[in-house]
Structure 1
Amino acid sequence: MPELPEVETSRRGIAPLIEGLLVSAVRVRQPLLRWPVSPELEQELVGQRILEVARRGKYLLLHTASGCLILHLGMSGSLRVLPTDTPAGKHDHLDVCLGERCLRLHDPRRFGAALWSSEPLRHPLLAGLGPEPLSDAFTAEYLQARLKGRSAAIKTLLMDSRLVVGVGNIYANEALFAAGIHPNRAGGRIGKARLQRLSLEVKQVLQRAIDQGGTTLRDFSRVDGRPGYFAQELKVYGRAGQPCPGCGQGIRQIRLGQRSSYYCPHCQH
């Protein structure tokens, strides 16, 4: 699934190409995505100007004066800005036409979403989200308060969008390795000093990935069609059995919360 850096890369790619443009048409070829595309979407969106392309967690928000188009890329979705007359492919499910160009949602698995909301931050998908990990609100003090008494594994907690939004599996593994924290350690048993290190490493690993265009995933390409390159720098994710870059011991793999977790048994405790 595209994670926060991939979504932010998409946002940065499409924003300068569509902000300020007027929506001239909406073409819904396949309304049955993760949630059905509203039949009123065309009526709501046509004639509106795209004021801003924002992001909340893994959701992209196309703000207009009357409301917001909430987009989610699902497991395999991507966005392209193309000439409006570009023929649609099999998995091109939605076009937001902006005169001579259009924003096209491509989603082979149809796990993405395109939802309209007049109050996006109160939408059920967004209302309960925790702070952005790159924001000033995500601190050791915040983590200490929210993790107090929690017995769940810290990696599982990091991936809970109610605690912090957008820290997916890849980056949770990488941040915990950089912070020297075992992924299965109970969240409530981590001291403030180590939480300070963890909050910093979460920010740094995400920012590096954003700067380098997102992690290369099987189904993800950047807006300009070139893959991201951060995957070449992953220290533990997907490297079970390979030597730890810190100490040389073999990276181990376990399952936590139905997700694969990778760690060094010597460097993380």
Structure 2
Amino acid sequence: MPELPEVEVSRMGITPHLLNQTIQKIDVRQPKLRWPVPEEILLLQGQVIRQIRRRAKYLLIDTDTGTALIHLGMSGNLRVLEQFIEPNKHDHVDLTLTNGKVLRYHDPRRFGAWLWCEIDTEHDVMSHLGPEPLTDEFNAQYLFEKAQSRKVVTKQFIMDNKVVVGVGNIYASESLFGARVHPKTLANKLTLQQITLLVDEIKKVLARAITQGGTTLKDFNQADGKPGYFAQELQVYGKAGKACPVCSELIQEEKIGQRNSFFCESCQSNDGGK
């Protein structure tokens, strides 16, 4: 699944091609995505793209009429074509610009979404979201206060979009390893010092992943078709049974909250209790 860095890289990749361009037409070949594509999405036709933003894992294309919200789901990606070419089976949406370029949405599993939001309003899917992890709003004091009432393991806590957005499974495992926090430590048992380290690691891991182009996942390519490279630097994720890069003990794998989690039992002490 594309995570926050992959979505941010997609935003960076498509922006130079779309910003300030006029949308000639939008073709929705498959309206049955995660949610039905609303008819209002056709209001994009004839509109100038004023801004392309990201909120959590949503891409937002702003026009004077309203905003299109795009979610890549489990397997979606966006590609910018220099000109129209015949679509393949899973190419569900085309956004054609007056300059001839095409933004094409490809999604084999159809878990992604194209939604519509009127100008100066917020869509329901974003109303519950916590702060962005790379902003000042997400800081140690904020996370420490949130953790006090949460009797849930830390990995699930930092993956809760109501707490902070965009810390997906891969980056949660990597950040916890960097902060030397066991993924099963209860959130309300974390010290302020541990949380300070964890916040710092989350920011560093995500920023580094964005810089390097997003993690290489089999279902993700950047807008130019090139895969990301952060997977080459993953410390523990997907490395069960291999030597820890710090202490050489074997990396462990365990399902936590129905997600595969990777950690070093030796390095990631569990002082806070499980």
Could you tell me the TM-score, scaled by structure 1's length? 0.98
The residue matched to 1:30 in structure 2 has which SS?
Answer: coil
Q: Matched residues in 1 for 2:119 and 2:259: separation?
A: 33
2:181 corresponding residue in structure 1: 181
Aligned-partner residue type, residue 72 of structure 1: H
Deviations 1:207-250 (A, max 9, x none): 00000000000111111111111101100001111110000000
1:143-222 alignment runs, 5 A limit? 143-222=143-222
- On the 8 A contact 2:65/2:119 being kept in 1, the answer is no
Q: Matched residues in 2 for 1:181 and 1:119: separation?
A: 42
The residue matched to 1:25 in structure 2 has which SS?
Answer: strand
Aligned-partner residue type, residue 82 of structure 2: P
Alpha-carbon shift at residue 119 of structure 1 (Å): 4.7
Query: Which has the larger displacement, 115-124 or 6-15?
Result: 115-124
- On the 8 A contact 1:91/1:108 being kept in 2, the answer is yes
1:240 corresponding residue in structure 2: 240
Aligned-partner residue type, residue 142 of structure 1: Y
- On the 8 A contact 2:80/2:224 being kept in 1, the answer is no
TM-aligned CA distance change 1:197 to 1:64, over 3 Å: same
1:67 corresponding residue in structure 2: 66
The residue matched to 1:24 in structure 2 has which SS?
Answer: strand
Q: Matched residues in 2 for 1:147 and 1:22: separation?
A: 46
Q: Matched residues in 2 for 1:83 and 1:203: separation?
A: 35
1:108 corresponding residue in structure 2: 108
1:257 aligns with 2:268: no
RMSD: 1.0
Q: Matched residues in 1 for 2:145 and 2:120: separation?
A: 27
Q: Matched residues in 1 for 2:202 and 2:86: separation?
A: 41
1:82 aligns with 2:81: yes
Alpha-carbon shift at residue 120 of structure 1 (Å): 7.3
Q: What is the identity percentage for the equivalent residue pairs of Structure 1 and Structure 2?
A: 51
- On the 8 A contact 2:11/2:59 being kept in 1, the answer is yes
Alpha-carbon shift at residue 122 of structure 1 (Å): 2.0
Alpha-carbon shift at residue 88 of structure 1 (Å): 0.9
Deviations 1:39-91 (A, max 9, x none): 2321x111111001100010000011121000000111000111342111111
1:94 corresponding residue in structure 2: 93
The residue matched to 2:37 in structure 1 has which SS?
Answer: coil
The residue matched to 1:40 in structure 2 has which SS?
Answer: helix
- On the 8 A contact 2:236/2:251 being kept in 1, the answer is yes
- On the 8 A contact 2:64/2:119 being kept in 1, the answer is no
Q: Matched residues in 1 for 2:44 and 2:83: separation?
A: 16
Unaligned runs of 5+ residues in structure 2 are 270-274
1:11-30 alignment runs, 5 A limit? 11-30=11-30
Aligned-partner residue type, residue 197 of structure 1: L
Unaligned runs of 5+ residues in structure 1 are none
Alpha-carbon shift at residue 155 of structure 1 (Å): 0.4
The residue matched to 2:21 in structure 1 has which SS?
Answer: coil
Q: Matched residues in 1 for 2:17 and 2:173: separation?
A: 34
2:272 corresponding residue in structure 1: none
- On the 8 A contact 1:240/1:253 being kept in 2, the answer is yes
TM-aligned CA distance change 1:176 to 1:137, over 3 Å: same
2:41 corresponding residue in structure 1: 41
- On the 8 A contact 1:3/1:166 being kept in 2, the answer is yes
TM-aligned CA distance change 1:37 to 1:101, over 3 Å: same
- Misfit runs of 4+, over 4 Å: none
2:135 corresponding residue in structure 1: 135
TM-aligned CA distance change 1:67 to 1:146, over 3 Å: same
